[in-house]
Structure 1
């Protein structure tokens, strides 16, 4: 008897749980205020191009005000006992948990990611990072960084659009735990959850000026990075911008951490559990529409199981549901912006032009918004642009290998070094591979697993420094 397929009924999350204001100002010294020059920009929902709100565009005078407020607040904040700072962080973590439904809906509206990802992955991790670093606030002398490490001062932090709230947590939680104050600039296309977080800071009673939020475009971030009274710069984003920031900071006494692009290899050996590996491949490249710096965008499959893996992978891709980010059944949401969609299309076209074979499941895309179907390329060589350049979208390049040595050589043949995945039943092989791969994070028989206690960061053009874990404290302390 033929198996019957059941269609999923729509299961939309209600937008009514979140109240989006028609306009937002900058959050400076505990208060919302207009930009000094009155400039604003619009933030839109990538799923349907609906204007969600109008947001202030910070300029030079606003950066000056925010840094000055952070500098003033630093004196008292850094002097607080660690246990007192911890109370604020614990309070913020609990409020995030209490308001997680609102935040998840807001994140999916502004970013385009599926609600089940923002609800079940992003928000629990956001709260966990604040809980984790709250626990460190009174134990800094036991972190292996010296008996009495001191905070740096004002931290200027610039975050990307792919995980707006999670990247905020990665930056702000350790900075505050160590006694620093913060001026944070969210991405231009996803400012709303950072502004919501500003309200959480007020709800938690955080002293004025400890956290300041400046919305704006790249020029705002450049002003913040270059400000002479910023002691520490933390950036997550593209390698190109990261290089520009490194040039700006060079020759100053500012501490710098960069978490940049990636072109991770997901390596499947012939003894791997195929069904489990396929789930890891799908999670590695299609989670968050491929908008993940550590995405497993290069699949390296041992030749003897190539056909079996690809057949299973294509069957699995045919079950992925693309559509409304607020529908709880959606697997792949909207591409974050028209600009990013254009880059994905350009690189996919380059893959076809260079001779790779393109495949995507039959997929009806919405008529409005920014969308791209899950796609894989076979017949890819290491010379193809799609195997070398970060696509930052739901596009997978498939290469093959015969021996572990060849897999290592191909995996390391990239200017990036952020992450990698290994699929094999042999623990000795996983450990051998991990010792050879030049990647900051290596997963064995899984992919995209994160924990606030585990450090994250890369080598080469994927940046330097670590976020998360005990290692994440070092970037915010004089040691």
Structure 2
């Protein structure tokens, strides 16, 4: 980036071994935001070898936990120092608003602070085996070499969910950001180096998954692959890793229901708040969010008024360049991705859904060079439609209607995914019944979209396996070892000869 080598392998910044380069496009105007090194598979193999050597022969896995936690705190300090520069990179890369990018960097800082605190207080477990002469302990050790593959929609945030616990656990790692949005991860890697991460502990390659995937996943030298992305790619990674019995942790997106009961909107204030949360849940970052509430499941008695209000307000969402402070949502990440969203809109129309707003590119000539698309709402949807069952990953909301609580639960669970869901009701007992019945990894009650580093994140079904964040997010990067210590020296008594 900016003429410097962009691959970090074994403590050395390098260019791609075959000289490959890639232009990174600013989706707001189609301009070239940067040109970076495009790794060759041999670079990926070298990065894994460096991580393997650092784990097997280096000091990092046995570094006292207090020192590892101190490193995480130094990283957090550097992130805070460079917050504005990183936020600008994230907006240039993804198109999201600068306000969203700043929130993302704050969350990255929180993740590093959280794992610095958690790892520092995590203790071994003593097991009572009923024998005073035996000391039985369960201890945690780093799992080993980790390949960390992050998506394009939250490049640095999603990478931090992997890097912070991996380093806290004492692992070594190879990072691969999306080839579409690598800029903030490159800058972040330089901060890891500045913070004092030993050579070989952190390695970075970037390039297309199709090009680098086999080298990163089809190897016995990797102990864990953590991937966030689509189901199809996740399935390939799992199948490849299975050949080597490599552990995988997968977060594969969702098709997330947002259930609104009539008793949630009994007055104007509640009505307005509910409309606001539904809009925010689906159209933040132009719907390019794995946990976006893309399926509105609404009680029939309020549906007409509610959908009309949604359409009115969605039409007034300010779409624009993420660097424009008046913009409320930015472009889609690329022309290719916009074409995919447009295909889904055409599909929805052909399936018989009713378009109530959006469904097209904006008219503003100032936005013509960017990958913009208007917030789109389809009413009259049902489970036979692909726009209801498939993850469109764009600014598309589908509306389904119900009359009974049991029907709402059935619809909410009628999905191959299970990442997140929302429920809106003023009835506390109903709220508890419904959130307990929904088979999703995160369920918001009278809210939508928030998370904390201290609570686990992940999904049921085809949304993946394993968890990020929280104590379980650290456990993904640890092996458990049972140590049985017999303090008395005497024969076992089995052999009688």
- TM-score of the superposed pair, with normalisation by structure 2: 0.90
User: Is 1:224 matched up with 2:216?
Assistant: yes
The one of 345, 350, 366 aligned to 2:347? 350
Q: Which residue of 2 aligns with 1:6?
A: none
Q: Which residue of 1 aligns with 2:87?
A: 104
Q: Deviations over 1:426-458 (max 9, x none)?
A: 221111111211111101111110110010000
Do the aligned partners of 2:124 and 2:140 also contact (CA within 8 Å) in 1?
no
User: Is 1:438 matched up with 2:429?
Assistant: no
Residues 1:350 and 1:214: Cα distance change in structure 2 (over 3 Å): same
Q: Distance in 1 between the 2:163 and 2:247 partners?
A: 16
Q: Which residue of 2 aligns with 1:46?
A: 27
The one of 153, 174, 188 aligned to 2:165? 174
Deviation at 1:378, TM superposition (A): 0.5
Q: Which residue of 1 aligns with 2:73?
A: 90
Deviation at 1:222, TM superposition (A): 3.1
Larger Rg: 2
Do the aligned partners of 1:81 and 1:138 also contact (CA within 8 Å) in 2?
no
User: Is 1:125 matched up with 2:107?
Assistant: yes
Q: Which residue of 2 aligns with 1:459?
A: 460
Secondary structure at the residue paired with 1:373?
coil
Deviation at 1:143, TM superposition (A): 8.7
Q: Deviations over 1:379-417 (max 9, x none)?
A: 111111110111000000011001110001111111111
Q: Deviations over 1:68-103 (max 9, x none)?
A: 221222231111110000011000011111111111
* 1:248-259 alignment, distance < 5 Å: 248-259=240-251
Q: Which residue of 2 aligns with 1:16?
A: none
Residues 1:144 and 1:295: Cα distance change in structure 2 (over 3 Å): farther
User: Is 1:412 matched up with 2:395?
Assistant: no
Q: Distance in 2 between the 1:425 and 1:446 partners?
A: 12
- TM-score of the superposed pair, with normalisation by structure 1: 0.93
Do the aligned partners of 1:375 and 1:394 also contact (CA within 8 Å) in 2?
yes
Return 5+ residue gaps in structure 1 as ranges: 1-19
Q: Which residue of 2 aligns with 1:15?
A: none
Q: Number of matched residues?
A: 459
Return 5+ residue gaps in structure 2 as ranges: 128-136, 265-269, 481-497
User: Is 1:262 matched up with 2:265?
Assistant: no
Q: Deviations over 1:123-149 (max 9, x none)?
A: 111100000011122333369997311
Alignment RMSD, CA only?
1.7
Q: Distance in 2 between the 1:293 and 1:269 partners?
A: 24
Q: Deviations over 1:251-281 (max 9, x none)?
A: 4232111000210000000011221111111
Residues 1:297 and 1:39: Cα distance change in structure 2 (over 3 Å): same
* 1:48-447 alignment, distance < 5 Å: 48-74=29-55, 75-119=58-102, 121-141=103-123, 147-218=138-209, 219-272=211-264, 273-360=270-357, 363-365=362-364, 366-447=367-448
